[in-house]
């Protein structure tokens, strides 16, 4: 859903991409920085019950900064002709680790989050897996489903900000993510089914 907006944002960040490139940041280095920021977000979530509001704010800030890096690595790669098959693969692997780390941090912070945290985590991983598997068969999956990574991060960020004022609201965010990620998986499975049927491959 946010793919078109993401593309517009990418077009607006050419200046920042030039600065990053001049500072010696390759796409892979930016991906690693984003991953480290996601780990920082995970730690902030995990210790939030002890240190409260400040950690929730830091969790959101680090997560958004990680998302910014996830956008920036692609811009630098395309702008300066540094795209590579391995770079795309490496970025995707780090993104999955980042997702797992953040959900793990939330689960650790409150054991009540365990069930919905695990369901949301499994849905998040499967959304990404269905895209990767479909695209390996030559089926483009960008924008299919309404819970891509950008949407998931936005929802989690909004509910974390809400948790600054009322901590249990983060649980509702996990419930929503648990539902929409698996709906997205179903959307993608159905999309692939139709695409393959049209190709008379099944």
We report the CATH number of the domain holding residue 95 as 1.20.120.1760
Give, as one character, the DSSP assignment of residue 145: S
Judged by phi (left if over 0) then psi (alpha if -120 to 50, else beta), residue 24 lies in: left
Which domain, by its residues, includes 140? 3-198
Number of domains in the chain: 1
Choose the catalytic residue: 70, 73, 91, 95. Answer: 95
* Catalytic residue status for 99: no
Phi and psi for 80 in degrees, rounded to 5? -110, 20
Residue with tokens 């190709």: 199
CA 106 to chain centre: 15
* Full pLDDT tens readout for the chain, 202 residues: 555 566 666 667 777 888 888 888 899 999 999 999 999 999 999 988 776 788 999 999 999 999 889 888 888 888 888 888 888 889 889 999 999 999 999 888 875 567 888 899 999 999 999 998 888 888 888 788 888 888 899 999 999 999 888 888 888 999 999 999 999 999 999 999 998 888 764 4
C-alpha–C-alpha distance, residues 34 and 131, integer Å: 21
- Give the length of the chain: 202
22 alpha-carbon distance from chain centroid = 27
Whole-angstrom CA distances from 113 to 76, 109, 173, 184, 191 are 37, 8, 10, 21, 31
């Amino acid at each position: 859903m946010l793919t078109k907006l993401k593309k517009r944002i990418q077009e607006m960040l050419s200046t920042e991409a030039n600065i990053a490139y001049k500072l010696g940041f390759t796409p892979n280095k930016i991906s690693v920085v984003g991953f480290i920021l996601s780990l920082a977000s995970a730690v902030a979530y995990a210790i939030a019950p002890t240190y409260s509001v400040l950690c929730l704010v830091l969790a959101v800030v680090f997560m958004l900064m990680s998302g910014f890096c996830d956008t920036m690595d692609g811009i630098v790669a395309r702008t300066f002709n540094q795209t590579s098959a391995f770079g795309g693969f490496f970025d995707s692997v780090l993104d999955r680790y980042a997702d797992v780390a953040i959900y793990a941090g939330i689960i650790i912070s409150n054991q009540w989050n365990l069930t919905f945290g695990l369901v949301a985590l499994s849905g998040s991983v499967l959304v990404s897996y269905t895209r990767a598997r479909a695209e390996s068969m030559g089926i483009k999956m960008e924008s299919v489903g309404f819970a891509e990574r950008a949407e998931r991060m936005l929802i989690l960020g909004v509910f974390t900000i809400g948790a600054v004022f009322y901590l249990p609201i983060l649980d509702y965010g996990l419930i929503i993510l648990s539902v929409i990620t698996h709906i997205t998986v179903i959307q993608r499975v159905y999309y692939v089914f139709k695409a393959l049927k049209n190709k008379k491959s099944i």
